[in-house]
Structure 1
Amino acid sequence: MAADNGKKKQEEGGEKEKVVKVTNKSVVLPRKELGGRECPLVTFDLPFLTFYYNQKLLLYKGQGGIDENWEEMVGKMKESLEEILVDFYPLAGKLGKDEEGVIRVDCDADNVGVEVVEAVAAGVGVAELGEDESSPLLQEIVPYTGVLNLEGFRRPVLAVQFTKLRDGLAIGCAFNHTILDGHSTWHFMNSWAEICRGSTAISVPPFHDRTKARDTRVKIDLPSPGKPLRSESDGPAPPQMREKIFQFSGSAIDKIKSNVNSSLSNGSKPFSTFQSLGAHIWRAISRARNLNPEDYTVFTVFADCRKRVDPPMSENYFGNLIQAVFTVTAAGALLANAPGFGASMVQKAIEMHDSKAIECKNKEWEAAPMLFQYKDAGPNCVAVGSSPRFKVYDIDFGWGKPDTVRSGRNNKFDGMVYLYQGKGGGKSIDVEISLEVQAMGNLEKDEEFLMEEQA
């Protein structure tokens, strides 16, 4: 209902009131010379070249006097960004190739810098951008909407936009996904905020040696500049979609987990919170899509491999160290069986993704490199990214914690799911789902999925 009211207010207010006005553009450089550093892209990074920039949005409610303190706040964020880029130097570079044609991040003096935009949206409030239903305004608040990671050869690998709202501040960030995964994204954001609060050094320095994760040098053929990744032969255009956040309280998560584990046989390993919630979402989306019993449906999770590789990597490893893990079944089997059936498939797929499986997948890709696109996700896919373990609500730049954290509009397709630490704290989890319009309408009415949240 809140989303409908927001749309109505936008229509009544008119476009002039809602326009986002850019007031300044600049390039922020690392405070110290990087000395011609470079960062190789390895097997874990390269498949993401044909994804889009990963977009994140943090909304902060004004603590009073935001108009008077705006320039000071932006100044502090830019100064601390200069400082933190010394530690997280790959984010200050651009994509390039070495003499053998292997892709890397160049951080020499001619290629460094983060694109920073300052803007004002006087008619837009924090609550409007933080509504459960995704606002079309996000593409004006978060930079690089619709920009492929391949553009990192011509653009900075990190872009930031600070937007002064009617009652607060929006920080929109676009990260080139070939440079880092979600774990590293939030490591950077928390470190940046730490410096902005006044710390002289970050508490958790990043580990940058990507050759420790993979030392195989891979050359890949890139699409020609301007060549569309999708053609008429790929079939019909993607369906119209809606994006919405469903908030699950800690008690609802406990109920879901208890329900999924209720069918466990004696001696079986209990299902984790992720496995339980994943099965809950998978079943609900399959119902919402009105799949036939014989239709296959795929569940995909982007698994963090830091502790799965041999030897294990540091938690502080900066880069991509994730792989897509798939499991598939018929919709009829998924829905006719108890929830533990789907959870057991997810559990088994994740447990089987050990160091040997990771090595095998890397070797297969290196033998025949392929740039991933969303059409490769599989039929009736439910794909889960991000993690409620990321402390997104701890990112305090010095004026309090975020009111809302969400994704931008990039890397969304029918069945894409992002999990976030719940705004309500504790065990709560926010589930951000993108679905075809009709399916989303069905999901919104699914009492079994919603639990107590919409009561």
Structure 2
Amino acid sequence: MKIVVESSRIIKPAHNADHIRPPLTTTQHIPLSVFDKVTFDTHVAVIYAFRPPTPPNSVIEEGLAKALAEYGQYAGRLGEDSEGNRVILLNDEGVRFVEASIDTTLSNAMPFKPSPSLLDFHPSADGVEELLLVQLTRFTCGSLVLGFSLHHVISDGHATSNFLVSWGLASRGLSISPLPLHDRTSLFAPRQPPQLEFEHRGVEFKSKKISRDSNTENPLKNEVAIHKAHFTKEFLSKLKATASAGRDQPYSTFQSLVAHLWRVVTKARGLNGCETTHVRIAVDGRRRMIPAVPDGYSGNLVLWAFPRANVRELLNRPLQYAADLIRTEVAKMEDSYFKSFIDFSSSGAIEEEDLVPTADADEMVLCPNLEVDCWTRFPFYDLDFGGGSPYYLVPSYLPVEGLLILLPSFIGDGSIDAFVPLFHHNLDSFKLCCYSMD
């Protein structure tokens, strides 16, 4: 199964006389917000599969150009302003658009396994200037696979899914509604005087020296395999009931599943009982801040909760213990926390203390900790270029040990797929305990 690249070119925004979007900014760049600066500084890739009938590539390309007229930052470049601050240059340099083909049917290629072969479905982001890279791969049966890679500094998962839906609308000749909100500065102005109500050192920020020490070469990082675990709707219901037994307020499916995965991954790793383990959980601030930030906000607005536990307690106490830790820490991520983060990020302490984000794209091994990225609430399946919703959705191959990605199963019955990267020598143990509720 070999993918042949047939063309590669740059697509620029399609501005026209009917384009009514006001300018993104009065200058030629957008300053990064404090949330953009603290996120993972790398491209993030996702792969879609569409069954026929699918529109021709030219229709999808035209829709992309129209969507870029509203999302101009996607067609820009990262650069610096006159004071050396990192910004998004609004220069309409465009996005990479690749057309490819493969000499097989989608049915023969399915199901896509989390392996290095997935990297062939999207352009390499190594050393590129483009913030968005797209690849359309055509199968002999008429099916289409879209490889989509976007730089995380530009937007979070919520905003990215909004862009994808807008791209689909534009490809079908429909108006993009609602229009994206691009204001990355006035929405997050620090309070006067600042109110540093929470500790952010060691949470969103760490010292540069610790960053250097933690990124030393790990000889085991190439021994990571990604296992896809499928959790049926029935299993999730039992898991939630087990976690919530005796509680007036039941735990959510997400809280119950993350608690379960935290425990079984910790068990599979065979960690020392005296160690401490935490889970890094992304929390969207749009509806947590007061006033709420519109859903159409096009940048990053995510911070992280860090439930922590002693390994022995995590494994010996019931599932409810882990679920309660998760609920408690996520609940702390309210308006006051987000605004405290804004105040701290704007205080000058980062520069004075030489701090860097803890969100480190170069960290390839997270053990004894976990990170959980939940895609179950993003409207990724609402992307429609004119031939219907995607048949299948998977993250690209990302062998970061301990980085779990949750997304709704393509079956569409409420089940969830979890992509779990672990060392090869821990996988058999994980598979044995993955569906045990003990």
- Deviation string 1:87-123 (CA, Å, 9 cap, x unpaired) is 1111111011111111111112xx4211101111214
Structure 2: state its 5+ residue gaps: 17-22, 191-204
Identify the residue that residue 43 of structure 1 maps to in structure 2.
34
- Deviation string 1:118-155 (CA, Å, 9 cap, x unpaired) is 11121463553533x3132211112235x3xxx5xx61
State percent identity of aligned pairs.
25
Q: What SS is found at the alignment partner of 1:380?
A: coil
Identify the residue that residue 10 of structure 1 maps to in structure 2.
none
- Deviation string 1:418-444 (CA, Å, 9 cap, x unpaired) is 121222224322222222212222222
- Deviation string 1:71-98 (CA, Å, 9 cap, x unpaired) is x610000000011111111111101111
Identify the residue that residue 179 of structure 2 maps to in structure 1.
205
Identify the residue that residue 411 of structure 2 maps to in structure 1.
424
Change (3 A) 1:449 1:323: farther
Give 1:273 deviation, angstroms. Answer: 1.6
Identify the residue that residue 69 of structure 2 maps to in structure 1.
86
Change (3 A) 1:232 1:83: closer
Q: CA–CA distance in 2 between the matches of 1:304 and 1:134?
A: 27
Identify the residue that residue 221 of structure 2 maps to in structure 1.
238
Which of these residues, 357, 363, 375, is aligned with residue 387 of structure 1? 375
Give 1:260 deviation, angstroms. Answer: 0.8
TM-score, with length taken from structure 1: 0.81
Q: CA–CA distance in 1 between the matches of 2:97 and 2:129?
A: 12
Q: CA–CA distance in 1 between the matches of 2:227 and 2:30?
A: 36
Q: What SS is found at the alignment partner of 2:419?
A: strand
- Kindly indicate whether the alpha-carbon contact (under 8 Å) linking 2:233 and 2:414 is maintained by their aligned counterparts in 1: yes
- Deviation string 1:339-366 (CA, Å, 9 cap, x unpaired) is 0000000000000111222233344445
Q: CA–CA distance in 1 between the matches of 2:121 and 2:388?
A: 20
Structure 1: state its 5+ residue gaps: 1-17, 67-71
Identify the residue that residue 397 of structure 1 maps to in structure 2.
385
Identify the residue that residue 196 of structure 2 maps to in structure 1.
none
Q: What SS is found at the alignment partner of 2:221?
A: coil
Change (3 A) 1:144 1:365: farther
Identify the residue that residue 9 of structure 1 maps to in structure 2.
none
Q: What SS is found at the alignment partner of 1:303?
A: strand
Q: CA–CA distance in 1 between the matches of 2:422 and 2:341?
A: 29
Q: CA–CA distance in 2 between the matches of 1:426 and 1:88?
A: 33
Identify the residue that residue 305 of structure 2 maps to in structure 1.
325
RMSD value, Cα: 2.8
Matched letter for residue 123 of structure 2: P
Q: CA–CA distance in 2 between the matches of 1:370 and 1:88?
A: 28
Matched letter for residue 88 of structure 2: V
Change (3 A) 1:248 1:373: same
Identify the residue that residue 100 of structure 2 maps to in structure 1.
119
Moved more, 361-370 or 165-174: 361-370
Give 1:288 deviation, angstroms. Answer: 1.4
Q: CA–CA distance in 2 between the matches of 1:93 and 1:386?
A: 28
Identify the residue that residue 196 of structure 1 maps to in structure 2.
171
Which of these residues, 388, 396, 415, is aligned with residue 408 of structure 1? 396
**What are the equivalent positions in structure 2 for 1:15-414 lying under 5 Å apart?**
18-32=1-15, 37-48=28-39, 50=41, 52-63=42-53, 73-108=56-91, 111-123=92-104, 125=106, 128=109, 130-131=111-112, 133-144=113-124, 147=126, 155-167=129-141, 168-199=143-174, 201-215=175-189, 233=216, 235-236=218-219, 238-264=221-247, 267=248, 269-366=249-346, 367-368=349-350, 369-371=355-357, 372-373=359-360, 375=363, 379-410=367-398, 412-414=399-401
- Kindly indicate whether the alpha-carbon contact (under 8 Å) linking 1:157 and 1:176 is maintained by their aligned counterparts in 2: yes
Change (3 A) 1:259 1:127: farther
Identify the residue that residue 445 of structure 1 maps to in structure 2.
432
Give 1:271 deviation, angstroms. Answer: 1.1
Give 1:317 deviation, angstroms. Answer: 0.9
Structure 2 residue 422 is the aligned partner of structure 1 residue 435 = yes
Give 1:234 deviation, angstroms. Answer: 5.0
Q: What SS is found at the alignment partner of 1:419?
A: strand
Moved more, 235-244 or 187-196: 235-244
TM-score, with length taken from structure 2: 0.84
Q: CA–CA distance in 1 between the matches of 2:218 and 2:370?
A: 20
Q: What SS is found at the alignment partner of 1:388?
A: coil
